[in-house]
Structure 1
Amino acid sequence: MADTLTKLTYQTFQQSKNYFGLAHKILSTRVMSLVSPSDRKSKPLPLDLLQKINQRYERLLEVDWQDAEAGVYPHNILFDNPWDEFFLYYPAVWFDLPQIWERAKQKNYQDFDSNLDIAGYPSYYLQNFHHQTGGYLSDLSANLYDLQVEILFGGSADAMRRRILASLKQGLSDFDDVPASQIKILDIACGTGRTLKMIRAALPKAALFGTDLSPAYLRKANQMLSQIPGELPQLLQANAEELPYMDNYFHATTSVFLFHELPAVARQRVIEEAFRVTKPGGRFIICDSIQMSDSPEMEPAMTGFYETFHEPYYRHYMTDDLVERLEKAGFENVTAEVQYMSKVLVACKPV
């Protein structure tokens, strides 16, 4: 397929997603100002910061293309966007907006329908993250999540997720004596299964596992992954603070867009659990939001994020030392690299 594709085609594809997200943001903001006027005016980001953000975006696309060219993953994954689902559920995004605006206006952060069973979940999880209806426990949320995240990040969410794949494959090379079909990888807080789907494209034979707290999101992940020929999703509902696996079971563990939605104590427990279930010599790879330590110039964007959306633990996350947390759990040789509005941390479990 690479012979028939060009870098320009890929860039055009990404820009189409970017323009779609931008158009939605502009239109929804204008509609909100008419339907639910607010005295609070959000400050536009400075021009020089917008230019830096755009430069980071261009660099992300360049790295994404280069990894495909290098064979880290096939070129066709660059164009794997569920347009049919996006257009199917896009009207639901608009129908849900009035409830989101009202919830944000009233600062109603624990608003769950009576038909949702919220018993047994940790208190920090029972939040209307992003003011969305049903938190992470409804099928509506699971169906809208990937679309909403792509809108939020201007079509770059998948490209940021893929930044874990090169380090993942590199780390697994240390287990070259293990047959490919016996390599076991766990994605913690797998959500809708997007990350697992990308790992499958990069590692066609590995045994993939996923855990998540939300049964609705696990249903969505099962639906998505079951569409892959021969795929049998191994998904479990589980709290990442208490993973239901034996010690030293996985050759690698991953987690994408989880840690900024955890309070500090839970962050440390999840890291310790990742250390426990990862084999000696294996890697734990995190992809999450940028932080002040690596991107101080992005502070206005980060502050605007947690002020605009309901992200109750993001403010602490901004200044949290994840490297220190990983080393405290026992990991070593921890590296961190910024990619657009995300960063990737790679931590190795000592042999």
Structure 2
Amino acid sequence: MSDSLTKLAYQTFQQGKSYFGVAHKTLSTQLTQWVAPQSRPERQIHSISPQQLLILQQKLNAILEVDWQDAQNGVYPASILFDNPWEDFFRYYPEVWLDLPAIWNRTQNKKYQDFSSSIDTEGYPSYYLQNFHHQTDGYLSDRSANLYDIQVEILFNGSADAMRRRILAPLKQHLSTFSNPKATRVLDVACGTGRTLRFLRATLPQAQLYGTDLSPAYLRKANHLLSELPGELPQLVQANAEALPYLDSYFHGITSVFLFHELPAQARQQVIEECFRVLQPGGMFIICDSIQLSDSPEFKLMMENFSTMFHEPYYRHYITDDLIERLKTAGFQNIEQQVHFMSKYWIARKPQ
């Protein structure tokens, strides 16, 4: 297939994911107003103006173009542009709808730390025991792990993977300076279901990959999805990112995607310091997370309401937090920032 046809296929693919996200959110909003009009009063967000919609569309088009160009430039194979968990989508999408009554009930009764009796909550930090995104059983059930990727793609209108992939170009460029690719070690902190690790494997086929997460359910899901890939299976470990179970100066690169907005301030700092500890001198640490107020002040109300709309109790502090200062406090230097669509990136280096 020619490059022009491949690009058209990719644009059509992304447009379909975007339309699906919009359609789902529209239908679920209408259903909520019809079935449970009083169940989520705090989730009423201000309307987005036509100008804001235009800005969002321009930002979305821009990240998709960067995504395409990175594939064209050989950062990663074009095939991962079409990597989507279709089997999970058809299997689990009905459960997204079936989960809505439980979400409405918890929201109406303000039960934001509600877990089923079958879920073992012992040993986890208190800030983690939340129904983030109004997820049933938070991040501690297999059902939550099965629905997560679908729900995040719906939230970002099909652009979540494109945002994840923005960590790949700077990391690959950094690791290209090492003479033995098979000896390079890369850790993904809070790896979740393994989406970022899938992209890391496609981009760095010879590297030794590692992943940590607090949720055993999400690690089971990640292990299942990653076992489908050729090559060496990433080593997955259940661990709190505030106390990583690795030796000092062990990794050449560390990534963390969509974690920091779900951490209270003190935990954010501790995770950064742990990543500094286990990173080799000269190593690179890349954070991908939500944009902050300083990046898009025109979306101030939308960001401020996001914390209640999707139950993100630490998000309001995050959007004004100075992560550059936190990285410098830990010892990182030469810190770069990038913004793509609704995500922000910090690319930091540990001094030689």
Report the TM-score, using the length of structure 1 for normalisation: 0.97
3-state DSSP class of the match of 1:337? strand
The answer as to whether partners of 1:210 and 1:236 remain within 8 angstroms in 2 is yes
Corresponding residue for 1:217? 218
Aligned residue identity for 1:169 = K
Of 143, 147, 155, which aligns to 2:146? Answer: 143
* Deviation (angstroms), 1:233: 2.7
Letter in 1 for 2:176: S
> How far is the alpha carbon of 1:307 from its aligned partner?
2.3
Which runs of structure 2 are paired with 1:101-140 in the superposition (5 Å)? 101-140=104-143
Bigger mean CA deviation after superposition, 204-213 or 42-51:
42-51
In the alignment, residue 110 of structure 2 is paired with which amino acid? K
Equivalent residue, structure 2, for 1:153: 156
Matches within 5 A, 1:52-67: 52-67=55-70
Would the aligned equivalents of 1:45 and 1:300 in 2 still touch at CA under 8 Å? Answer: no
Runs of 4+ in 1 over 3 A off after TM superposition: 1-5, 39-42
Amino acid at match of 1:136: Y
* Shift, 1:5, TM fit: 4.1
Q: Distance in 2 between matches of 1:241 and 1:166?
A: 27
What aligned pairs does 1:16-31 form with structure 2 within 5 A after superposition? 16-31=16-31
Is the CA contact (8 Å cut-off) linking 2:46 and 2:301 kept in structure 1? no
Q: Secondary structure of 2:242's partner?
A: coil
Q: Which moved more, 1:228-237 or 1:129-138?
A: 228-237
Deviations 1:49-71 (CA, angstroms, capped at 9, x unpaired): 11111110010101000100000
Tell me, yes or no, if the aligned pair for 1:187 and 1:253 is still in contact at 8 Å. yes
Q: 1:301 deviation in Å? A: 2.1
Q: Deviations over 1:141-176 (max 9, x none)?
A: 00000000000000000000000000101111232x
Are 2:77 and 1:74 equivalent residues in the alignment? yes
Contact residue 174 and residue 281 of structure 1 kept, 8 A: no
SS, match of residue 338 in structure 2:
strand
Give 1:163-174 correspondences, 5 Å limit: 163-174=166-177
**Unmatched 5+ residue regions in structure 2?**
none
Paired with 1:203 and 1:2, the residues of 2 have a C-alpha distance of 25
| TM-score scaled by length of structure 2 | 0.97
CA distance in 2, matches of 1:43, 1:95: 27
Measured after TM superposition, the shift of residue 48 of structure 1 is 1.1
**Partner of 2:305 in structure 1?**
304
1:168-206 per-position Cα deviation (integer Å, ceiling 9, x unaligned):
01111232x3x1111100000000000000000001110
CA contact (8 A) 1:2 1:75 kept: no
- Residue 7 of structure 1 aligns to which amino acid in structure 2? K
Secondary structure, counterpart of 2:139 in structure 1: coil
Which residue does the alignment assign to 1:10?
Answer: 10
Q: Hey, what does 2:200 align to over in structure 1?
A: 199
**SS class of match (2:249):** coil
Residues 1:212 and 1:118: Cα distance change in structure 2 (over 3 Å):
same
| 2:145 partner amino acid | A
Pairwise CA RMSD of aligned residues? 1.2
String of CA shifts for 1:44-95, please: whole Å, max 9, x gaps: 1122111111110010101000100000000000001111211110000010
Q: Secondary structure at the match of 2:244?
A: coil
Compute the displacement of 1:23 (Å).
0.6
Identify the residue that residue 323 of structure 2 maps to in structure 1: 322
Shift of 1:232: 2.1
Which residue among 66, 86, 89 is the counterpart of 1:86?
Answer: 89
Amino acid at match of 2:162: A
CA distance in 2, matches of 1:2, 1:275: 43
Residues 252, 279 of structure 2: 8 Å contact kept: yes
Work out the percentage of aligned pairs sharing the same amino acid.
66
